[in-house]
Amino acid sequence: GQQVMQIPQYQHVQEGEDFTTYCNSSTTLSNIQWYKQRPGGHPVFLIQLVKSGEVKKQKRLTFQFGEAKKNSSLHITATQTTDVGTYFCAGPGDSNYQLIWGAGTKLIIKP
Amino acid sequence: EADIYQTPRYLVIGTGKKITLECSQTMGHDKMYWYQQDPGMELHLIHYSYGVNSTEKGDLSSESTVSRIRTEHFPLTLESARPSHTSQYLCASKKEGYEQYFGPGTRLTVT
């Protein structure tokens, strides 16, 4: 069945360093969504990408959708403690009512 | 912030008990979802609903049941709780074509 693979599972960074998480789908996606879940919280929608090759920015966060619409990335420049959490990508499933979720990448700031 | 509510927020219960986790949303969304998630880990879809009187099982085998008698209400019932059910349960809703909104979750511990 359709799968969305997300790597890495964890990334430890010093505050101020950059962070990147990658998603790869086994099939072409009509769109991809990104969510952030703070420790102890629930996933919160960040952004949706729809167009091939699309790049969107939200302050220090840069989201990209691949040309083939099968991969996507989230890059955070100069991480801050407020960025700590797990970042999930998700693409529409066969029914289009469901989302197929990546396993998430946990951003950990080294003390 | 989206208007989706879950009760209880925390529940500790003994093995064999019947429990119902409540989820309500005031946004008029047709699509609603139940996910099971160990803290900070992958989201597993256990049930979803397209609308009133429509429910489907998700990818994760679950011993729970759901009902959707009203648009705004999507309760999850465990007939006989077991320690393996210990987890966080997240309810979500969405309007077609848009992102999912999550409730705060119920943390269930079965002793």
Using 50, 70 and 90 to split pLDDT, how confident is the model at A96? low
Task: Give per-residue pLDDT as tens, B57-77.
Answer: 987 767 899 999 999 999 999
Task: Give per-residue pLDDT as tens, A23-68.
Answer: 999 999 999 999 999 999 999 999 999 999 999 999 999 999 999 9
Residues of B in contact with A48 (CB under 8 A): 99
Task: Return the minimum-mean-pLDDT range out of A76-85, B7-16, B61-70.
Answer: B61-70
- Spell out which chain B residues touch chain A, with contact meaning CB-CB distance below 8 angstroms: 31, 33, 39-43, 45, 48, 50, 58, 90, 96, 99-105
Structure tokens at B77: 């019932």
Residue with tokens 């999930």: A88
What per-residue confidence (pLDDT) applies to B34?
97
Q: Which of B6, B10, B36, B43 to mutate to test the interface with A (most CBs of A within 10 A)?
A: B43
| H or E stretch covering A44 | strand A44-49
Structure tokens at B102: 């999550």
DSSP-assigned letter for residue A90 = E
The percent of residues in chain B predicted with pLDDT above 90, rounded, is: 86
